[in-house]
Structure 1
Amino acid sequence: MRIHIKFSILLITILLASCTDVIDVNVPEAEPRLVVEASLDWEQGTEGNVQTILLSLSTPYFDSETINYVTGAEVKVTNNNTSEVFNFLDNNNGAYTTTNFMPIVDNEYSLEITYNGETYSAVETLMPVTGINSVYQSKDQGFNKDFLEVNVTFDDPADIENFYLIKFQQQGNFLPELFDISDEFTDGNEMHVFYEKEEFKAGDVVEINLNGISKQYYNFIRLLIEQSSDGGPFATIPAQLKGNCINQTTPENYAFGYFRLTEVSKEIYTFK
């Protein structure tokens, strides 16, 4: 009986193995598009004169290692309120840098990129941010009372529609944790955000960035955060997100990415 059972299991294993076919899925590849990483962040307490814009080309879906940096483009940002122009110099590695940028909150700025015979443009306003009031650790805010969490508080200005992006970056981790925040129901109050993680332990260091962002960028980053998380059964169906960079020469050849300008309050916290 035991011999019969062993023989049956062996036979089933052989049959299953012999029925395995390799299926090659042909995924269509779209033409590369310009990818714009233009986040001009003015850290409180600094001049904000050094700014960098990164340009690259999109890659096939399954190619997670190749980065096609763009060189030879012309990049400039103009303050539409003062007409001052800031040219970003090509570093020949996909980075375009200026050392004389002048950030002014509530001023409108225009980005213009000329690449491969086409001109891309975007318009944004440099949004202010309140400073961070306090940063502290706890174990009683999240879903698990055994996990450490870092807490951040800041004051929301009253009678003004405000939007925020807060980033928690644990030192040693490549990917940050992002939270988009609106003051729709908390206008004029002290805001409180916490970040809980099972792996947090004493000695871990977390960098915290609090950015003031525009409503348009809030809508964009909110969808991006939703699509990058697992989301559960009621998550938003993934869709191609278009930023605010418009191809003025060939509109259908739009760019990926976003042009944003923000004031940012930064803190570094070490768990005890």
Structure 2
Amino acid sequence: MKNYIKTLFVLTSIIFSACEDVIDVDVDTAETRLVIEASLDWEKGTTGNNQTIKLSLSSPYFNTQDITVVTGANVVVTNMNTGDIFNFTDENDGSYTTNSFEPIIGNTYSLQVSYNGETYEATETLMAVPEIKEINQSIEGGFDDELLEVNVYFDDPVDEENYYLLNFYETGDLFSFFADVSDEFVNGNEVYYFFEKEDDEDNNQAPFQAGDTVDIELYGISESYYNYMRLLIEQYYSGGNPFSSTAALIKGNCINPTNPDNYAFGYFRVTEVDVATYTFE
């Protein structure tokens, strides 16, 4: 009996000791690339003159602490319809700003970023967005009839293709919730979208309750940006699903015309956005 207890103690010690071993796994590290965060968003009711573009360098997947900002770049946006040029000032913290941007619906804008001997370019058209005409709450329209959801309504224009991006964010959550919307089957009609939250401790997320406030943003976006976001959203929300397709590299629209293999990460978008806030009762 004593030998049995002694043997059990030794085995238990070995098991728990093994659990404390640290295993280092070598993973491939991709080459460093320029990351361009260029979202020129014109909020309804504002001039849209103040805009910011952020530049940084990509980092290894498991490096979540350090972000290498890029300074010393030359950033210019040009209205291809009018020829107006908007120079962005280097703020020496990775951000480049202007207070003279002029947004014009339907006009096409080009971005040019010159950095470290390379030039990156992108073009995008400024798309209009309808006003959010109603926001309310319910419990019967979502996936779970015991959870509160917020409902957003807006009117889609007639006889034209339109694409939208919705962003929902409650203060305290780690991440926003994004949804891509096309008018393919609702052209010219009222568009309705709902959003509800479930418990998610990993993301510090809890279901909506009375008194909670959610920020809502409705963007009018181009078809190309819609396709980009649709793939990005699909890959993000299918993470951990054993039946989902294998994740693939999603390229933005920031190209390097003289050295195509050295493209930049990120996307240059120019949008109109309607912003609203809703508090649950």
Smaller-chain TM-score bracket: over 0.9
User: What is the aligned partner in structure 2 of residue 258 from structure 1?
Assistant: 267
Cα distance in 2 for residues equivalent to 1:5 and 1:263: 74
Instruction: Identify which of 217, 221, 242 aligns with 2:229.
Output: 221
Tell me which amino acid in the other structure corresponds to 1:236.
Answer: S
Instruction: Identify which of 230, 245, 255 aligns with 2:254.
Output: 245
- Give 5+ residue unaligned stretches, structure 1: none
Cα distance in 1 for residues equivalent to 2:26 and 2:242: 28
Tell me which amino acid in the other structure corresponds to 1:13.
Answer: T
1:195 aligns with 2:204: no
Q: CA deviation at 1:9?
A: 4.6
User: What is the aligned partner in structure 1 of residue 69 from structure 2?
Assistant: 69
The question of whether the paired residues in 2 share the 8 Å contact of 1:43 and 1:264 is answered with yes
Q: CA deviation at 1:241?
A: 1.2
Task: State the TM-score, normalizing by the size of structure 2.
Answer: 0.91
Q: CA deviation at 1:195?
A: 0.6
3-state SS of paired residue (1:210): strand
3-state SS of paired residue (1:221): helix
Range with greater deviation from structure 2 (7-16 or 124-133)? 7-16
- Give 5+ residue unaligned stretches, structure 2: 199-206
Within a 5 Å distance, the mapping from 1:160-175 to structure 2 comes to: 160-175=160-175
CA-to-partner distance for each residue in 1:9-41, whole Å, 9 max, x for gaps? 535423434656543211222221000000000
Tell me which amino acid in the other structure corresponds to 1:43.
Answer: E
3-state SS of paired residue (2:261): coil
Range with greater deviation from structure 2 (126-135 or 198-207)? 198-207
Q: CA deviation at 1:175?
A: 1.0
Cα distance in 2 for residues equivalent to 1:145 and 1:138: 9
Tell me which amino acid in the other structure corresponds to 1:237.
Answer: T
3-state SS of paired residue (2:262): coil
1:25 aligns with 2:34: no
User: What is the aligned partner in structure 2 of residue 59 from structure 1?
Assistant: 59
Range with greater deviation from structure 2 (89-98 or 28-37)? 28-37
User: What is the aligned partner in structure 1 of residue 276 from structure 2?
Assistant: 267
Q: CA deviation at 1:72?
A: 0.4
Q: CA deviation at 1:204?
A: 1.0
Q: How many residues align?
A: 271
Cα distance in 2 for residues equivalent to 1:125 and 1:106: 6
CA-to-partner distance for each residue in 1:33-91, whole Å, 9 max, x for gaps? 00000000001111101010010000111100111110000001000000100001000
Q: CA deviation at 1:249?
A: 3.0
The question of whether the paired residues in 2 share the 8 Å contact of 1:226 and 1:236 is answered with no
Within a 5 Å distance, the mapping from 1:70-219 to structure 2 comes to: 70-198=70-198, 199-219=207-227
Tell me which amino acid in the other structure corresponds to 2:182.
Answer: S
1:14 aligns with 2:23: no
Range with greater deviation from structure 2 (25-34 or 261-270)? 25-34
Cα distance in 1 for residues equivalent to 2:181 and 2:227: 10
User: What is the aligned partner in structure 2 of residue 39 from structure 1?
Assistant: 39
Q: How many percent identity over aligned positions?
A: 56
Range with greater deviation from structure 2 (25-34 or 100-109)? 25-34
3-state SS of paired residue (1:218): helix
Cα distance in 1 for residues equivalent to 2:4 and 2:197: 48
CA-to-partner distance for each residue in 1:206-243, whole Å, 9 max, x for gaps? 11000011110011011111111235333232111110
The question of whether the paired residues in 2 share the 8 Å contact of 1:121 and 1:247 is answered with yes
